[in-house]
Amino acid sequence: MEILENREAWQAAYKEGWLAHWRKTGETNWKIYNRPNHKTAPSGKGIDLSQSRLLLISSAGGYLPASQNPFDAENDLGDYSIRQFSIDSAPTDIAFAHTHYDHTAVNEDQQVLLPLRHLKEMVSAGEIGELAPQVISFMGYQPDAVRVVDECIPLIIAAAQAQNAQAALLVPS
């Protein structure tokens, strides 16, 4: 199945509408943004989570400032790259480069967007088989759906496969 349904029509509307307006005015006008509107959901078999490796995927813009570059959060056209960091990273080692949500809650309690402590407890309780060793992180401000499909998603899939993930939990911000 297509990840982005009606890709060519979506891309034409994006280029002629939202993107053309941004190029002309420098404004990000969401009133004229055509959000993807899908008709079909992906199908797939259920799994026994207690026997599976679960991967956490976050769109909150998390990264390790000591060793990684931040996401380009100020770019009106988005950032389609990913970062990976250990599930054992100390909360104080993780920062968030994403200017499109209020960071008050995540600065107070990282579990609201990166629930690694809770997930580890579920592993200890036998509810989850194990966690994939790296969190996959991206910055969810990505207005170009075609670039999401062509750039970001292949990076996520490759990283997920490299970690032999059998299940994934996406936590958007």
Supply the minimum distance, in Å, between the C-beta of residue 135 and another protein.
14
29: amino acid identity, one letter: N
104-125 core/surface letters (b: 16 or more CB in 10 A; e: else): eebeeebeebbbbeebeebeee
Supply the minimum distance, in Å, between the C-beta of residue 30 and another protein.
11
- Cβ closest to another protein, residue 20 vs residue 162: 162
- Cβ closest to another protein, residue 20 vs residue 157: 157
Supply the minimum distance, in Å, between the C-beta of residue 85 and another protein.
18
- Cβ closest to another protein, residue 26 vs residue 101: 101
Question: Which position among 17, 70, 115, 133 is part of the footprint of another protein (CB under 8 A)?
Answer: 115
How far is 26 from 98, CA to CA, in rounded Å? 19
11 binds another protein (CB under 8 A): no
Residue 165, sorted as left (phi over 0), alpha (psi -120 to 50) or beta, turns out to be: beta
- Cβ closest to another protein, residue 25 vs residue 37: 37
How far is 79 from 73, CA to CA, in rounded Å? 7
- Chain positions 14 to 73 lying near another protein, rule: CB under 8 A, are 35-49, 52, 54-55
Q: Within 10 A of 62 (CB to CB), how many other CB atoms are there?
A: 26
